[in-house]
Amino acid sequence: MAEVLDTAALLFWPVERIAQGICAESQMQELRRLSEPRFLLVESNPPELMNVDDAALQEAREAASRTGDLNGLSPVDIEVLALALHLQAVLHSDDYRLQNIARNEGLEVKPVNTKGIEKVWKWQLRCTGCRAVTDVESKSDELPDCQICGSPQQLKRA
């Protein structure tokens, strides 16, 4: 079965193990920004690098939106998720949001350097003014203001 690696695996795993995985091309740029020496080491024996098409990215955004995790994902996170969903691959990640979305979508998830999540969750919006709670329906990166009182809302685990 295919294995998609999050950037945590690129940072912490032995290079020989990384070479057996699949990553988004944008992760190599992120790795270079985080650690130039590690980037050079991984580049010498790289994983399979794949581009993600628009349809796969949209599928990933929709999956993240369903759980309420979209607002907490970076563009690189969305590409990693898109690869895992598109390939129906095992996702190796320490990112709890990625783990949550992947498990909600029926993918196998393995943590890299942490314990990993124990159970899946959903997010809700809680108004900072009137404290009203609503389901997350946002398909964008911005949280809407409260429909009752107009105050800003925050994401909270349901």
The CATH number of residue 7's host domain is 3.40.50.1010
Task: List the Cα angle 99/4/38 in 5-degree steps.
Answer: 100
Indicate whether 9 belongs to any domain: yes
Residues 127 and 149 in one domain: yes
Indicate whether 118 belongs to any domain: no
Residues 152 and 82 in one domain: no
Rounded to two decimals, what is the model's pTM? Answer: 0.77
Rounded CA gap, 5 and 96, in Å? Answer: 14
Range of the domain at 60: 3-110
Distances (CA, A) of 82 to 5, 37, 128: 12, 27, 32
Show Cβ contacts of residue 156 under 8 Å, excluding neighbours closer than 6 positions: 123, 124, 125, 126, 133
Rounded CA gap, 73 and 67, in Å? Answer: 12
Taking only the tens of pLDDT, the chain with its 158 residues reads 899 999 999 999 999 999 999 999 999 999 999 999 999 999 999 999 999 999 999 999 999 988 888 888 999 999 999 999 999 999 999 998 899 999 999 999 999 977 766 776 677 788 999 988 887 765 455 778 888 898 998 877 76
Residues 27 and 93 in one domain: yes
Q: How many domains does the chain have?
A: 2
Indicate whether 142 belongs to any domain: yes
Residues 91 and 24 in one domain: yes
Indicate whether 27 belongs to any domain: yes
Residues 24 and 71 in one domain: yes
Indicate whether 98 belongs to any domain: yes
